[in-house]
Structure formats: structure tokens, C-alpha cells
């Protein structure tokens, strides 16, 4: 049963955790919103939200031992979903916080938008262009999701790119490999399509 999955939402004072938790519960997840790295490591699936600056999020993860827990989750093959800055911190570095090392689970750099006359941050609804089929994005190609960000990841390995969107320039909207997928947008703020993504994540985690 999907409801038997224990989904840990990483609580490190840097994420939209309440909205993420409610969305997951709405699609049938048993959610453990936890600041405890051990409980994250033992979960059946893990969601890493993130809001704010890259450097601050990395620091808070490190202070709580969640950086090591996230790497352990990935290496153990546990289904793992990153959201917004929870995508960005998986990469090696960001132009937002020079000198700060990310988790380095995915190679690449997080870049600031250089979108001509368009306002930064990018805020609003944009459609996904799924470049590589993935169970978590099943049925969501062309759907609109809600974005709020000034930076986006540039994967160092092209195969890690899963979907793009466009804001003056094409940008990475989802990336991942193996048991990991992460998205730049906010599924929990994206109405029906967002709930479908979380539903897909539960189904993928169960498989």
C-alpha cells in the first residue's frame, strides 16, 4: 500500500516544509517531518525542500548533519526528491554563494538568470518540456508549474537533465539520476499538476 511508505521531509529551517507535508499527505503519504538525520536515513523515501539562499541552506544542512544524511540516502538507493533550492544544493556550487560547496551529489553549477529585460527573480507559471522520460514526471510534459527563483542549475553531465522550461533562455527545471530526481519549481504550489507529481513520486518510491 502507498500509505505504508514512510516519507521523511527534511526539516532544517530552510524549506517550505508545511506545504510540502500537506501536499504529500493529500496524496496518501505517511509523512515524517523531521530534523533528525538518522530518521531521514531510515525512511522509505525522502523529500528535501529548500527556500532561500544557496549558502544559507547548505550551512543549515551541515549544522544538522543533514548533508551527510542526504548523501547516505542517495548512496543507499532510497527514492529521493529535491524541491526548489533542494535541487540547487545537490550540485557542486552556486554563483549565488561563491566559495560555498554544495552537496556535490550531482556535478554542475547553479547559475543566475541572464534573461535580458525580463525581471529576476522569475516568478510565475511556466510549462515543462520533459527531455528524458521519468516516472515522477509521467503525464506532466507540457503542464505548467509555479516557479520562484533567480538561479537555476546547469548540470555538468548532460544525462542528468530531465526537463527544461524557458524564461528568456531555456533552463533546467528538473535533474537527477538513479534514485534521485529534483525540481526547480514548487509542486506544492502548483495545483493539480503538483499533486500529480507527488502522487507519481509515491508510486515510484513503492516500485
What residues act catalytically? 84, 186, 188
Q: What is the DSSP letter of 135?
A: G
Which sign, positive or negative, has the C-alpha torsion 106, 112, 117, 120? positive
Rg (CA), the chain: 15
Q: In sequence order, which residues have a C-beta less than 8 Å from that of residue 74 and are 6 or more positions away?
A: 80, 105, 178, 179, 180
Which cell is 194 given? 503538483
- The residue with cell 495545483 is 191
Instruction: Report CA dihedral (189, 1, 39, 41) to the nearest 10 degrees.
Output: -90
Amino acid at each position: 500500500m502507498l500509505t505504508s511508505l514512510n516519507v521523511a521531509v527534511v526539516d532544517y529551517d530552510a524549506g517550505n516544509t508545511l506545504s510540502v507535508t500537506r501536499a504529500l499527505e493529500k496524496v496518501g503519504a505517511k509523512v515524517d517531518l523531521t530534523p533528525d538525520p538518522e530518521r531521514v536515513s531510515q525512511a522509505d523515501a525522502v523529500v528535501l525542500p529548500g527556500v532561500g539562499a544557496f549558502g544559507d541552506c547548505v550551512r543549515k544542512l551541515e549544522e544538522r548533519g543533514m548533508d551527510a544524511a542526504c548523501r547516505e540516502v542517495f548512496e543507499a538507493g532510497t527514492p529521493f526528491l529535491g524541491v526548489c533550492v533542494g535541487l540547487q544544493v545537490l550540485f557542486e556550487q552556486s554563483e549565488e554563494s561563491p566559495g560555498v560547496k554544495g552537496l556535490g551529489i550531482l556535478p554542475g553549477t547553479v547559475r543566475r538568470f541572464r534573461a535580458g529585460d525580463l525581471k529576476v527573480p522569475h516568478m510565475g507559471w511556466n510549462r515543462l518540456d520533459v527531455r528524458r522520460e521519468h516516472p515522477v514526471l509521467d503525464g506532466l510534459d507540457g503542464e505548467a508549474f509555479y516557479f520562484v527563483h533567480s538561479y537555476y542549475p546547469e548540470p555538468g553531465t548532460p544525462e542528468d537533465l530531465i526537463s527544461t522550461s524557458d524564461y528568456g533562455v531555456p533552463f533546467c527545471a528538473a535533474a537527477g539520476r538513479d534514485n534521485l530526481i529534483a525540481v526547480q519549481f514548487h509542486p506544492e504550489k502548483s495545483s493539480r499538476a503538483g499533486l500529480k507529481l507527488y502522487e507519481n513520486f509515491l508510486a515510484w518510491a513503492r516500485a
